[in-house]
Amino acid sequence: MKSLGKHLIIEFFQCDSTILNDLRTLENHLLAAVQLSGATIIQPLLHQFSPHGITGVVVVAESHFAVHTWPEYGYCALDIFTCGDSVDGHIALNYLKENLKAANTSVMEVKRGVLDLPQSQIKHKPDQDAA
């Protein structure tokens, strides 16, 4: 059976706290990771908390990339949820691990939308002619 999507649930530990608390730097890294993965950016939205921490999402045509940081702990939680076969979330994961300077990483991959249908009947976007 084929799934509609893939969800990477990622934890980064012992990251660079300065990067985790810098909205522009974090947004630039997140957008670069999305582009490297092959996803199509629709819109980013990130929010800076006081005194520290950032949460945000980049909506992509294929689903979303989400980030939540706790700079005071050097911790970052990421979700990379994509549908289809054209996006490689692992490329984004590796880029972010390097650029957020994560010393330790935990990754869980979950298939989303596993349907009991033949692979030939599972389409990520409906045919335009079918409408």
Per-residue pLDDT tens over the stretch 112-124: 877 777 666 666 6
Q: What percent of the chain has pLDDT over 70?
A: 89
Q: Tell me the catalytic residues.
A: 63, 68, 83
Q: Give the pTM.
A: 0.86
- In CATH terms, 3-114 corresponds, of 3.40.50.2020, 3.40.190.10, 3.40.50.300, 3.60.90.10, to 3.60.90.10
**Residue that wins the pLDDT comparison between 130 and 25:** 25
User: Using 50, 70 and 90 to split pLDDT, how confident is the model at 128?
Assistant: very low
**pLDDT for res 122:** 64
- Is 63 within 8 Å of 83 (Cβ atoms)? yes
pLDDT at 17 over 50: yes
Per-domain residue ranges for the chain?
Answer: 3-114
Mean pLDDT of the chain: 90
More confident residue, 47 or 83: 47
Q: Quote the pLDDT of residue 80.
A: 97
For 58-75, the pLDDT digits (tens) are: 999 999 999 999 999 999
Question: How does pLDDT run across 37-55, given as a tens digit for each residue?
Answer: 999 999 999 999 999 999 9
pLDDT value, residue 124? 60
What is the rounded CA–CA span in Å between residue 93 and residue 126?
A: 28
